[in-house]
Structure 1
Amino acid sequence: MSEAITTPSNFIRNIIDADLADGRRTEVVTRFPPEPNGYLHIGHAKSICLNFGLAESYGGRCHLRFDDTNPAKEEDEYVEAIKRDVAWLGFDWGEHLYFASDYFDQLYAWAVQLIKDGKAYVDSQSAEQMRANRGTLTEPGVDSPYRNRSVEENLDLFERMKQGEFPDGAHILRAKIDMASPNLNLRDPAMYRILHAEHHRTGDSWCIYPMYDFAHGQEDSIEGITHSICTLEFEAHRPLYDWFIAQLGIHAPQQIEFARLNLSYTVMSKRKLLQLVEEGLVAGWDDPRMPTISGMRRRGYPAAAIRNFCERIGVGKADAWIDLSVLEDCVREVLNESALRRMAVLKPLKVTITNLPQPEMACRGANHPQQPERGERELLLTREIYVERDDFMEDAPRKFFRLAPGREVRLRNACVIRCDEVIKDDAGEVIELRCSCDPETFGANPADGRKIKGTIHWVSAVHGRQLPVRIYDRLFREENPDKAGDFRDCLNPESLHETRAWVEPALLDIAPGETVQFERTGYFTADAIDSKPGAPVFNRTATLRDSWAKVKK
């Protein structure tokens, strides 16, 4: 076992350290147990990084286990998507890939054992009757009229349930615990329900399926999990898990709860995310606006940024909200180091350089200004170029250090130009600037001594190309969409804007999935699905700074 010295300590590590020091545990075995009923989101990433990270730092192992106990909502598509996401984040489960369905025979045998021990019974009440008899937080529940069925009758009914003799909802197997318990989870909870549905792995072999609360703890026990780490909403379920383990006399994992991730301007409910997909409010689970791991990957978020984010927010017991800007900062930190620099103009304004010495002038631009070893690329300045419309102001204030009538600006990697004439159309809109250049100022790092405060980017109108660009913003306008009567009312109508940008030729060769920095604009990723050789489609991954900070103020 290796000491956990590279990652900051937290209360979970303190518990594990104490367990190992006292000899209660001799190894660390964790698991990530998703239900294959949807795609993973950023909240799951926190659990993935925690469970796999703990196992790695203590020299143990982490299992990937699919809790596939509800065939009505589970699909192979989700299984494969989850495996891709975990692997993309940088974690390897090796040979330890498991499914709850691997244990259906054993779980059934344990249910029979509990019936024989008088700890479980078949209830024939309707779902409405069971809800009415469950009681409330202040009133005890009412015993089912079927609670005292004989062991023989329960065994017979349960076997017939298994054989498919009854329709869905006709019977249910319940644990016999305490209908007056202050913990509602211990009021004779359901263990098995009848469900005539095709299972993605077992087909129609079963028509009864274990409930999550019955299966989950036993799955951990079968796999020898030492530390069963889950979010706080399962804290009240822990006595139930412990009860099943104690009645069956099997290996007892230690459950430890931590606070789930709550991220602003986001919903974390799989049900709500599925609703967005099914209602066509987004383009799919991997829509770059979605908080899913696949959506963030397609948008261009690096796996390292998500891992850094999960480490930065830490692990605690108290619920807290994390602002989305924290995640975006982690993305920018990683991309600032990795992304090549290129020039692209999103809102083009034509500029004609009237005195350019030659039809085109060769310039050199660094691929990364802080990493000279990554080399340079050639840029050709031509008589006609495009600049950003926002880099010109006809009636500019004194501290506007970009183009304005009579003012000078430096073209990045090229030369200094002065705006001499403004051309407008019949409607009075500016359609062209005519500028003159200073031939003595050519070069990416000219030693001309000119103190020009403004530098802007540009693209040649001759050599540049137009490519589609998608400008993504936050999917929701409200910080906490779950507080709205209908979370869909908080959708941001400006979350996607599609345009075409003029780009320098080097951007034509960007591979699908590769991220570059459009200088002075932001980080953009060639869409992994829609990009074609020589014709990338760019998604905005992140701005160069938190553009929402001013909005929130």
Structure 2
Amino acid sequence: MFSLWFKGASKNLNLMEWDKLWTLNKKIIDPICPRHTAILKERRVILTLTDGPEIPFVRIVPRHKKYEGAGKKSTTFTKRIWLDYVDASSVSIGEEITLMDWGNTTIKDVGRDEEGNVIHLTGELHLEGSVKTTKLKLTWLPEIDELVNLALVEFDHLITKKKLEEGEDFLDVLNPCTRRDTSAFGDSNMRNLKHGEILQLERKGYFICDVPYVRPSKPIVLIAIPDGRHQT
């Protein structure tokens, strides 16, 4: 979803990078698109909160903190929560982190397997702590059956260079892999996404819903929308 405005016809040939259009597009969709949370399935890690709620509870919160028109969503708070592996592997014992939309937690233990990979975390809530003092602000999902399956799809450029040289055959620079699919879990509110709806997955980027929720075994398909930043 982006707008282009043309003033008259031009015979000049302009070579423009898509990054500028995607940056403009971000400025249009960011102020209004709802926020949701996803955790990658591969190597995800459980964080057990020793003083977390024994009985899960639910809060109704805005889908966008600065745009009321995005509506509301429910967030479930549990004693055991999922973190992305890359986040879990970046914390250390004694460190205070922020669980986004909940509060601070102090990491008490980091469990590792024989190869040194993080497989479990233990923490203690410190909700009176300030989010301004923590280095890590992490997204999370509750360990509940209501999470939905997601297929996150990212498309890459068709060729491996920005510009073909004169006389160069584009077949020589075709990108061998232009699509990447990643499996993830999403918050239960994503059952209500409609085809074509644009959203932001917190700390992951912008997406458009290509295939909405049908049944638990069939994942919701979300296609990544570039935002103008160069991928590493």
Q: CA deviation at 1:376?
A: 2.7
1:230-249 Cα offsets, whole Å, 9 max, x none, are: xxxxxxxxxxxxxxxxxxxx
Find 1:501's aligned residue among 161, 178, 184. Answer: 184
One-letter amino acid matched to 2:222: F
CA distance in 2, matches of 1:350, 1:358: 16
Cross-structure match for 1:456: 138
Alignment map for 1:418-497 (pairs within 5 Å): 418-438=106-126, 440-441=127-128, 449=130, 451-453=132-134, 454-462=136-144, 463-481=146-164, 483=166, 485-497=168-180
Partners of 2:160 and 2:175 within 8 A in 1: yes
CA distance in 2, matches of 1:523, 1:355: 34
Q: 1:328 to 1:483 in 2, by over 3 A?
A: farther
Partners of 2:95 and 2:106 within 8 A in 1: yes
Partners of 2:153 and 2:222 within 8 A in 1: yes
Cross-structure match for 1:322: 16
CA distance in 1, matches of 2:222, 2:164: 28
Cross-structure match for 1:541: 225
Q: 1:485 to 1:449 in 2, by over 3 A?
A: closer
1:94-145 Cα offsets, whole Å, 9 max, x none, are: xxxxxxxxxxxxxxxxxxxxxxxxxxxxxxxxxxxxxxxxxxxxxxxxxxxx
Q: Does 1:337 align with 2:31?
A: yes
Q: Does 1:417 align with 2:105?
A: yes
Q: 1:314 to 1:320 in 2, by over 3 A?
A: farther
Identity of aligned residues (%): 20
Partners of 1:469 and 1:500 within 8 A in 2: yes
Report the number of matched residues. Answer: 225
CA distance in 2, matches of 1:511, 1:525: 9
Q: Does 1:515 align with 2:194?
A: no
Q: Does 1:376 align with 2:72?
A: yes
One-letter amino acid matched to 2:202: E
Partners of 1:382 and 1:461 within 8 A in 2: yes
Partners of 1:512 and 1:532 within 8 A in 2: no
Q: CA deviation at 1:480?
A: 1.5
Q: CA deviation at 1:522?
A: 0.6
More relative contact order in 1 or in 2 (CA 8 Å, sep 6+)? 2
One-letter amino acid matched to 1:452: T
Cross-structure match for 2:50: 354
One-letter amino acid matched to 1:320: N
Higher share in strand:
2
Q: CA deviation at 1:333?
A: 1.9
CA distance in 1, matches of 2:105, 2:197: 33
CA distance in 2, matches of 1:425, 1:381: 27
Partners of 2:47 and 2:121 within 8 A in 1: yes
Partners of 2:53 and 2:77 within 8 A in 1: no
SS in 2 for 1:537: strand
Q: CA deviation at 1:406?
A: 1.8
Partners of 1:511 and 1:533 within 8 A in 2: no
Cross-structure match for 1:38: none
Q: CA deviation at 1:372?
A: 2.8
Q: CA deviation at 1:488?
A: 2.8
Q: CA RMSD in A?
A: 2.7
Q: 1:481 to 1:389 in 2, by over 3 A?
A: farther
Q: CA deviation at 1:338?
A: 3.2
Find 1:387's aligned residue among 65, 79, 83. Answer: 83
Higher share in helix:
1
One-letter amino acid matched to 2:226: A
Partners of 2:82 and 2:142 within 8 A in 1: yes
One-letter amino acid matched to 1:412: M
Partners of 2:159 and 2:174 within 8 A in 1: yes
CA distance in 2, matches of 1:484, 1:456: 49
CA distance in 2, matches of 1:522, 1:449: 26
Partners of 1:484 and 1:490 within 8 A in 2: no
SS in 1 for 2:182: strand
Q: CA deviation at 1:434?
A: 1.6
CA distance in 1, matches of 2:82, 2:9: 49
Q: CA deviation at 1:537?
A: 1.1
Alignment map for 1:155-234 (pairs within 5 Å): none
CA distance in 1, matches of 2:131, 2:25: 36
Q: Which has the larger radius of gyration?
A: 1
Give the alignment's TM-score, normalised by structure 2: 0.83
CA distance in 2, matches of 1:479, 1:490: 10
Name stretches of at least 5 consecutive residues in structure 1 with no aligned partner: 1-301, 395-402, 442-447
Partners of 2:104 and 2:130 within 8 A in 1: no
SS in 2 for 1:321: coil
Q: CA deviation at 1:505?
A: 0.3
One-letter amino acid matched to 2:168: G
Alignment map for 1:32-181 (pairs within 5 Å): none
